[in-house]
Amino acid sequence: MSVDNDDLAALRQRIDGIDDQILELVSERARLAEEVARAKARRGEALKVYRPEREAEILRRLTEHNRGPLTREQVTVLFREVMSACRALQQPLTVAFLGPQGTFTEEAASKHFGHDAGMSPQATIGGVFREVESGAAHYGVVPVENSSEGVVSHTLDRFLDSELAIVGEVELRIHHALASHAGGLTSIDRVYSHQQGLSQCRAWLETHLPQAERHPVSSTAEAARLAALEPSAAAIASEAAAERYGVPLLQERIEDYHGNTTRFLVLGYQSPPPSGHDKTSLVVSSANRSGLLFQLLEPLARNGIDMTRIESRPARQRGVWEYVFFIDILGHAEDESLRGPLAEMRERASLFRILGSYPRAI
Ligand SMILES: O=C(O)C(=O)C[C@]1(C(=O)O)C=C[C@@H](O)C=C1
């Protein structure tokens, strides 16, 4: 054996030793998680297996301690999977998401809950809400906004007639690929995607596929399924969806904006306690008079509360030209700094509902 081979064998032997230690430690951690489940049962909290604030705290601590060479993202993925397995030992969770399989929402749900959660694809955003409302799923994941295309209004509207709370958020970098059996761009006569996919790649399409018809469909995964059936069609979808439906990639990363990111909400019946890095989502409205919005927001401005988003939507049941405002602010509703301003807002509003306080996306 050469010296090089000796080196390699020695290094692999050390890796084997470390893997044995990791296995030993991960097993010990899993046994402790089982003990945590028994402790929760003794306190009458058996059903509260998933603790978003605790998971966020663990991930924050570990990424702060991380000295490399693994990146923050890699450490987060590893430990999310460890927690996912430990959670599944306590109770298998079912997570409804906007399907079908292969959507970006599925990717967001897996990113957040890991691969040991049971995933239940739903055809519509309303379907995801219904699955959680009926108890068929423990949690739901739906898209709420995209950095280049703005709000997913159907998600916001659905909160107006649902008791569900927001228990978490997930941010996912969205990379679109063009997938087709056509072999080359010039043979493509139609492009399928979700409306958001078509919009997020508008400039690319105008430059590279001006001749092709755009066909919006229910999801990017459905687009990949259709492109698999029609040789002269292409799909704008994730690489994972193209692979799932066996459609070759013609071009990767065709999104117009490099930082293209979608934010998803995790829905459930739970109010996570403060984690130290939280966000609060509210829906507010008031009688339609001048200065309404200023009046509602003034307590936030006066107390230096950061507002990260505001959307207005027609109030529907409340009357024509009446609006509700969906507002996100930094902090937890139980934080001392937020209690006063929120109480003042509540007094000024005719509709005031906290949709949830939850750990900020990691
Ligand atoms: O600390 C808890 O409450 C646990 O159940 C343990 C644990 C973990 O694996 O660390 C698992 C699930 C929860 O979502 C949070 C953390």
Per-10-residue mean pLDDT of the chain, 362 residues long, equals 78 98 98 94 85 97 97 97 97 94 95 96 95 98 91 91 96 97 95 94 97 94 96 96 96 94 96 96 84 90 96 76 90 97 95 97 92
Provide the pLDDT for residue 320.
56
User: Which atom of ligand 1 has the smallest separation from the CA of 51?
Assistant: 14
Please give the class, per CATH, of domain 177-251: alpha beta
Q: Break the chain into its structural domains and give their ranges.
A: 3-88, 93-174+261-268, 177-251, 278-359
| C-alpha closest to that of 325 among 160, 125, 154, 147 | 160
User: Given ligand 1 and candidates 42, 55, 113, 139, which is best to mutate, with the most ligand atoms within 8 Å of its CB?
Assistant: 55
Provide the pLDDT for residue 291.
82
Question: How many CA atoms are closer than 13 Å to the CA of 214, on its beta-carbon side?
Answer: 20
User: Which atom of ligand 1 has the smallest separation from the CA of 32?
Assistant: 6
Residue 92: other Cβ atoms inside 10 A: 12
Tell me the C-alpha distance between 57 and 319, whole Å. Answer: 43
Distance 335 CA to ligand 1 centre (A): 23
Can you name the CATH fold of 93-174+261-268? D-Maltodextrin-Binding Protein; domain 2 (3.40.190)
Q: Which residues contact 270 (CB under 8 A, 6 or more apart)?
A: 48, 50, 52, 165, 167
Q: Does domain 3-88 sit in CATH 1.20.59.10?
A: yes
Q: In the 8-state DSSP scheme, what is residue 283?
A: E
Provide the pLDDT for residue 174.
95
177-251 matches 93-174+261-268 in CATH topology:
yes
Provide the pLDDT for residue 34.
95
Distance 86 CA to ligand 1 centre (A): 7
User: Given ligand 1 and candidates 83, 139, 362, which is best to mutate, with the most ligand atoms within 8 Å of its CB?
Assistant: 83
Q: In what order do the strands lie in the sheet with 213-216?
A: 213-216, 190-193, 233-237, 177-180, 249-251
Distance 100 CA to ligand 1 centre (A): 29
Q: What are phi and psi of 99, to 5 degrees?
A: -90, -160
For residues 332, 338, 342 and 345, what is the CA-based torsion angle, rounded to 10 degrees?
Answer: -130
Does residue 327 contact residue 281 with C-beta atoms inside 8 Å? yes
Distance 88 CA to ligand 1 centre (A): 10
Quote the pTM value.
0.92
CATH of 278-359 among 3.30.750.24, 3.30.70.260, 3.40.50.720, 1.20.1630.10: 3.30.70.260
Tell me the C-alpha distance between 40 and 28, whole Å. Answer: 18
